[in-house]
């Protein structure tokens, strides 16, 4: 018997939603280009940000668009997401732990939903459409924000939930010292913050030996203030998709139908 291998056929459009601590943002994405196919909508994250309240806001956001019923929907969440279920809650309401994020949002929206860690979504988008596009080997995308998120992609394959923001560095949870929120909290100059980043990224490159590090998160738009101060063996570049990355990555993974290959 002969068989013919076909590349899996994925939809060319999907809807991405980025659930963050202050805002829930969504847009339809053209997956041929990685661009939004209409303007992004943002709704403030309800407080307290319980699963029920957040899911209702996601439904409101999705309903503000006129979308085909079968359009795949992807949501990011800032926690470990294992097979759709939140397993940690470093910077979100503790009530999320154990919540099937994909199922809760699917129920609220009446749609098929895929849930993914926020940094995994953003990093994956960078490998498809941004700073790590076409890069072979081991790519590590690190997002610097309220926390530190990480995304490991090996020859285009995502290894989810690496959680490198929680490496122990000098006896501290790394993100508590080196996240952008730590820079703000401690009123650090760029130079002082870069010293902390230097310590952090040196540990990361010694453990993972990536071919490329991409730095994302809101502060990456000011990359010229701190990336040139770092002395690493690994090439380190700013993310390109900026705050679209989470939405685009969530949409791309939703179209594939899985976070795992």
Shorter beta-carbon distance to ligand BGC: residue 178 or 255: 178
Q: How far apart are CA 200 and CA 208, in angstroms?
A: 12
- In degrees and rounded to multiples of 5, residue 144 shows phi and psi of -110, 110
Chain centroid to Cα 152, Å, comes to: 11
Q: How far apart are CA 69 and CA 75, in angstroms?
A: 16
Q: How far apart are CA 180 and CA 197, in angstroms?
A: 10
Q: List the x/- string, 225-254, binding to ligand BGC by CB under 6 A.
A: ------------------------------
CB of residue 143 to ligand BGC, shortest distance in Å: 6
Instruction: Enumerate residues 6+ apart whose C-beta is below 8 A from 249.
Output: 16, 74, 76, 116, 120, 121, 122, 123, 124, 125, 126, 128
Chain centroid to Cα 22, Å, comes to: 15
Helices (H), 209-259: 245-256
Shorter beta-carbon distance to ligand BGC: residue 30 or 93: 93
Shorter beta-carbon distance to ligand BGC: residue 119 or 212: 119
- In degrees and rounded to multiples of 5, residue 60 shows phi and psi of -60, -40
Q: How is residue 143 written in tokens?
A: 């997002």
CB of residue 150 to ligand BGC, shortest distance in Å: 7
Binding residues among 134-173 for ligand BGC as defined by CB under 6 A: 143, 145, 147, 149, 163, 165
Shorter beta-carbon distance to ligand BGC: residue 13 or 97: 97
Q: Does 180 bind ligand BGC (CB under 6 A)?
A: no
The half-sphere exposure of 205 on its side-chain side, counting CA atoms within 13 A, is 17
Q: How far apart are CA 76 and CA 63, in angstroms?
A: 18
CB of residue 37 to ligand BGC, shortest distance in Å: 26
Binding residues among 33-72 for ligand BGC as defined by CB under 6 A: none
Q: How far apart are CA 260 and CA 83, in angstroms?
A: 9
Stretch that binds ligand BGC, among 32-40, 53-61, 111-119, 204-212 (CB under 6 A): 111-119
Shorter beta-carbon distance to ligand BGC: residue 126 or 175: 175
Q: How far apart are CA 94 and CA 77, in angstroms?
A: 13
CB of residue 32 to ligand BGC, shortest distance in Å: 27
Of 75, 119, 158, 182, the residue at the interface with ligand BGC (CB under 6 A) is: 119
Binding residues among 78-107 for ligand BGC as defined by CB under 6 A: 78-80, 88, 90-91
CB of residue 259 to ligand BGC, shortest distance in Å: 13
Q: Does 175 bind ligand BGC (CB under 6 A)?
A: yes
Contacts with ligand BGC by CB under 6 A lie at: 78-80, 88, 90-91, 117-119, 143, 145, 147, 149, 163, 165, 175
């Amino acid at each position: 018997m002969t068989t013919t291998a076909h590349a899996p056929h994925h939809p060319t459009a999907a809807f991405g939603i980025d659930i963050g601590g202050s805002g829930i943002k969504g847009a339809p994405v053209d997956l041929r280009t990685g661009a939004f196919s209409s303007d992004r909508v943002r709704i403030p994250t309800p407080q307290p940000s319980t699963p029920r309240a957040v899911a209702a806001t996601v439904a409101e956001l999705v309903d503000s668009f006129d979308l085909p019923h079968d359009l795949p929907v992807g949501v990011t969440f800032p926690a470990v997401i294992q097979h759709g279920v939140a397993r940690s809650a470093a910077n979100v309401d503790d009530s999320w732990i154990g919540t099937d994020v994909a199922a809760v949002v699917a129920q609220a929206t009446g749609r098929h939903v895929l849930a993914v860690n926020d940094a995994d979504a953003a990093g994956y988008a960078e490998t498809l459409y941004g700073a790590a596009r076409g890069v072979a080997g081991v790519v590590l995308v690190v997002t610097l924000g309220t926390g530190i998120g990480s995304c490991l992609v090996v020859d285009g394959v995502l290894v989810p939930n690496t959680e490198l923001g929680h490496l122990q560095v000098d006896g501290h949870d790394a993100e508590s010292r080196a996240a952008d929120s730590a820079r703000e909290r401690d009123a650090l100059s760029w130079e002082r913050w870069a010293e902390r980043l230097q310590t952090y990224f040196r540990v990361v490159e010694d453990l993972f030996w990536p071919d490329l590090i991409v730095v994302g998160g809101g502060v990456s738009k000011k990359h010229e203030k701190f990336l040139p101060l770092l002395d690493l063996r690994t090439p380190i570049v700013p993310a390109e998709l900026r705050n679209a990355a989470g939405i685009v990555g969530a949409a791309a993974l939703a179209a594939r139908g899985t976070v795992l290959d």
